[in-house]
């Protein structure tokens, strides 16, 4: 079981290190395969995200230009916005949160596929013009 956990976390870490994305799938693994309650899975995902982003920022993103003023404003707003979010996460039953999570996953998957399709179309149109 522990080996499966580590393998899953490794896979998700690789995907997010490549920029393909990953946190959502960790929650799916924890709830669907390990039968963890939604709130615990989401909590572990938060910790996971903090580790992933600290390592990414300190290793290969440290040369990136970050607009500090914007980042601080967004962080402050984000922290304030997080309180109603975590409150809802606490009071809503796990089944409801899990369904909302499913909808967001579905939407993000569809949007990603659509954007890839647009990108491909743009590239093939550019080729045709030649």
Partner 1 sequence: MDNNKNNKTRALFRLLPIIAAGAGAGFINGLLGSGGGIVLIFAYSFIVKKKRSSKDNFATSLAVMTPVSAVSAIMYYLKAGADFSGAGKFCIAVVIGGIIGAYLADRIKSSTLTAVFAAVTCIAGLNMLFK
Residues 55-94 that bind partner 1 (CB under 8 A): 55-57, 59-61, 64-67, 70-71, 73-90
| Window 8 to 37, contacts with partner 1 (CB under 8 A) | 9-21, 23-28, 31-32
Residue 67 gets the label, from left (phi > 0), alpha (psi -120 to 50) or beta, of: beta
Please, which residue, 35 or 129, has the CB nearer to partner 1? 35
> Where would I find the H helices in 18-67?
23-28, 38-59
Q: Give 97's contacts (C-beta < 8 A, 6+ positions apart).
A: 38, 39, 42, 88, 89
Choose, by CB under 8 A, the member of 110, 118, 121, 122 that binds partner 1: 110
Q: What's the min distance (Å) between Cβ of 129 and partner 1?
A: 21
Does residue 53 belong to the site contacting partner 1 (CB under 8 A)? yes
Residue 19 gets the label, from left (phi > 0), alpha (psi -120 to 50) or beta, of: left
Q: What's the min distance (Å) between Cβ of 49 and partner 1?
A: 5
Does residue 121 belong to the site contacting partner 1 (CB under 8 A)? no
């Amino acid at each position: 079981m522990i080996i499966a956990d580590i393998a899953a976390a490794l896979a998700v870490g690789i995907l997010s290190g490549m920029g393909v994305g990953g946190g959502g799938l960790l929650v799916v693994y924890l709830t669907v395969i390990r039968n963890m309650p939604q709130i615990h899975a989401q909590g572990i995902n938060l910790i996971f995200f903090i580790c992933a982003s600290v390592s990414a920022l300190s290793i290969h993103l440290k040369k990136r230009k970050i607009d500090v003023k914007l980042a601080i404003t967004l962080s402050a707003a984000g922290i304030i916005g997080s309180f109603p979010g975590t409150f809802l996460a606490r009071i809503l039953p796990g089944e409801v949160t899990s369904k909302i999570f499913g909808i967001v996953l579905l939407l993000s998957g569809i949007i990603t596929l659509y954007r890839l399709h647009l990108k491909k179309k743009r590239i093939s149109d550019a080729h045709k013009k030649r």
